[in-house]
Amino acid sequence: MAAGAIVAHNVSPALQAQLASARAQLKYANIALKRTLALAHEKLQTDLDVALAQRNQAQAESSLVTIQQQANEQVMRAPFAGTLHYLVAPGTVVYRGTPVATINGRAVPWVDIKVSPATSHDIKLDEEAEVSDGTWHGMGHVLSIGKNARSWGLIQIRIKLPVGSPLIPGEWARVKLIQDGAPATTVPRTALIMHGGKAVVFIITQHHAKEVPVQILADTQKKVWVKGPLKASERIAISGVTRLKNDSRVVMATAQDNK
């Protein structure tokens, strides 16, 4: 549901009674005006009678418009985009302060993308996705995959974003699904350095450093998501990396050293 969409109509019995009365009064005023005009044509009513009938009809119409506007304002709208869940059935009598619906969305932000049916077949739930709005970069996960292609022949894919994402409803973003090759790996920010304009990390093999180029997918203050030929079992240098070169000898820190 989009922000501002109507969630529910509040039907006030008193307001509905006023609306019915105003409609009846306008109907009577229209009949009276028509009758007065007909009699005036036969010289049986004066111009003053016609003016009074026209005034009564205009007042009845204005009253109906005012009450109708009040009735139109008796709606609840979504304060932000999200998924709507009703707590009461239509026609339920509620009182002031009664919860009628909840909207999930603000605490769990998401991005919707549309892909071809053929592409959707290769997408899996919880698959990682790189999301960027030009200034912010983050990692999301596939939350749901649409089951129909009614929207221009495309399938809707919903990407769940990290809580606290700075993206706002309605904003355009760039999304890249990570499907092929090695999965994204999380490394401490201190493990990443730039060599020759390329991002690299150093893995430790038999007390020697080996430079491994990686692609930065997303980052935070402490962690970086990278894609590259890294294995879960490999040790990555996380300190002193600016002094390392390919095949540099590395002395591993011990628990005693860290005390």
State residue 37's pLDDT score: 93
Q: What's residue 219's pLDDT?
A: 65
Tell me which residue range forms the domain holding 68. 6-77
The DSSP letter of residue 249 is B
Q: What confidence score (pLDDT) does residue 180 get? A: 55
Give yes or no for a contact between 111 and 161, defined as CB atoms under 8 angstroms apart: yes
Q: Does one domain contain both 153 and 189?
A: no
The CATH code of the domain that includes 212 is 2.40.420.20
Q: Is 89 a member of any domain? A: no
Which of 177, 203, 231 is at the close of a domain?
A: 177
Residue 53 in domain: yes
Residues 171 and 213 in one domain: no
Asked whether residue 23 is assigned to any structural domain, the reply reads: yes
List, in sequence order, the alpha helices (H) in the chain.
13-41, 47-72, 117-120
CATH of the domain at 60: 1.10.287
Which residues lie closer than 8 Å to 147 by C-beta, 6 or more apart? none
Residue 26: the pLDDT is 93
In a domain, 133, yes or no: yes
Does 103 reside within a domain? no
The whole-angstrom separation of Cα 143 and Cα 161 is 9
Written as tens digits, the pLDDT of the chain (259 aa) is 677 788 887 777 788 888 899 999 999 999 999 999 999 988 888 888 889 999 999 999 998 988 888 777 777 777 777 778 888 888 788 777 788 887 766 556 788 888 777 777 778 888 888 888 878 888 888 888 888 877 667 788 888 887 777 777 777 888 887 765 556 778 888 888 887 667 889 999 888 889 988 877 666 667 787 878 888 788 888 888 888 888 888 877 665 554 5
| 166 part of a folded domain | yes
Tell whether 234 is covered by a domain.
Answer: yes
So what's the pLDDT on residue 179? 62
Domain boundary among 77, 101, 127: 77
| Rounded Cα–Cα distance for residues 174 and 137 (Å) | 9
Indicate the number of domains in the chain: 3
Instruction: Burial-class residue 190 by CB neighbours within 10 Å (0-12, 13-18, 19+).
Output: middle
Give dist(CA 181, CA 194) in Å, integer: 22
Shared domain for 12 and 71, answered yes or no, is yes
Residue 71, domain member (yes or no)? yes
**Whether residue 13 sits in one domain with residue 68:** yes
List the CATH number of the domain containing 127: 2.40.30.170
